[in-house]
Structure 1
């Protein structure tokens, strides 16, 4: 039946809509006038989601963005003062020392390959998980809806919005909240995630657009090494490394995207501090500061 429905969809829709073929006709959505999905049902099951409009500028103060580079192991998180924490992918291994308030997972293979940590994330009732329609469906399929105890905020790739045609970057020029790199037309950043998030090849970039939208005034980033991709992430072992494609797009997409993000954060007077002193992201983009200096900790 699934293959038949897929064939019907392909016959009745152009290639620009192909990214929706596995969703139809199981998924039903409704959008707000500002573009974001506000109601969502899958196979007749109504899924409660947070309206993104309610989150705009809802936060203040400092946010720690925990990513997964090996330099995480050089930070004693038990010493840093309490603050809001956003994690991505396997950063939840720090749950014993960090109080995660927000989480971002947009890589479906991570859910497949790290089932145990994902199950822990979705059981956290005080956490908001930002993920895509595909992520929510995968959670339902793998764990059952009753296991999803966290709150869900539905985000979309601006280029592949649900039941809409594929958007190339030139089609996004009319969206006032999407800002483009001064010399690279394929590099962009969206300050209003209701109209979609711009992908640059790393979940950290999705998280930065979310943090900007939430309204935080200072952003500390841990584990943003963007180097030595052959080494295990901080929570992995040499025998348990998931492959990374970051090296393929580091120079062409990731670094220019962070350059653009840095400019937009500066314009909003949001200070970004990179706690990875060995990061491949230049100090001119995100200032590198030792975590003890960043949080005014004694060196004793």
Structure 2
């Protein structure tokens, strides 16, 4: 098992791209993000081949994600050999032993907030995106770009990947927006840039738009 402290400032000063699971990512070319540091989450390994990226780090914070065989396989053998896993502590008990040597487990400190020290724990904010954001800062990222955090959950396809048994959509959008907006403010105080790259995200009024700042 990896020590959390081994990740501290490991990617200092770099751009970190977070790939969430909203369907908007299916319409974006993500092949270029391999030039930076990539954090995937939940079902993102199912998208790596088709969208042309590989995750350097992979996070899961909801124990329900392990409840289905396909999703459990996604979080284990579906990952690249180079991917480091960062999971909520409660998932350790049901995790696959053969993958624990490249996994960090961090405990939840509560729902609302932002932790600057994963060694102490993280705030889950009702979205795995929050663990990814706190990891991005702990790694020392100077710029964070968030893809696929749509928070719209259309009935036709709530997530970018197909689910045999769709996970329930929790009615916590307001809590998610509150915590991600708070993360933006906390990161801004420390000189870290944080951009939204989803053109349809509910976060658009609350975060700077990445497409207006940079040209691919």
TM-score (norm 2): 0.87
Q: Could you tell me which residue of structure 2 aligns to residue 255 of structure 1?
A: 177
Unaligned runs of 5+ in 1: 1-48, 160-185
Q: Could you tell me which residue of structure 2 aligns to residue 236 of structure 1?
A: 162
**Of 88, 105, 109, which residue of structure 2 is paired with 1:154?**
105
Residue 73 (structure 1) aligned with residue 29 (structure 2): no
Unaligned runs of 5+ in 2: none
SS at match of 1:158: strand
The alignment of Structure 1 onto Structure 2 pairs a total of residues equal to: 210
Cα pair 1:125 1:151 within 8 Å, conserved = no
Shift of 1:78: 2.6
Residue 296 (structure 1) aligned with residue 187 (structure 2): no
Once superposed, which parts of structure 1, at least 4 consecutive aligned residues long, lie more than 4 Å away? Answer: none
Shift of 1:197: 0.7
- C-alpha distance in structure 2 between counterparts of 1:116 and 1:294, whole Å: 37
Shift of 1:79: 4.5
Structure (1 or 2) with the larger CA radius of gyration: 1
Residues 259 and 80 of structure 1, relative CA distance in 2, 3 Å threshold = closer
Q: Could you tell me which residue of structure 1 aligns to residue 124 of structure 2?
A: 199
- C-alpha distance in structure 1 between counterparts of 2:24 and 2:45, whole Å: 15
Residues 94 and 149 of structure 1, relative CA distance in 2, 3 Å threshold = farther
Residues 150 and 53 of structure 1, relative CA distance in 2, 3 Å threshold = closer
SS at match of 1:193: coil
Give the superposed CA RMSD.
Answer: 2.2
Residue 87 (structure 1) aligned with residue 40 (structure 2): yes
Shift of 1:58: 1.9
Aligned ranges 1:269-284 → 2 under 5 Å: 269-283=191-205
**Of 88, 103, 107, which residue of structure 1 is paired with 2:58?**
103
Residues 149 and 188 of structure 1, relative CA distance in 2, 3 Å threshold = closer
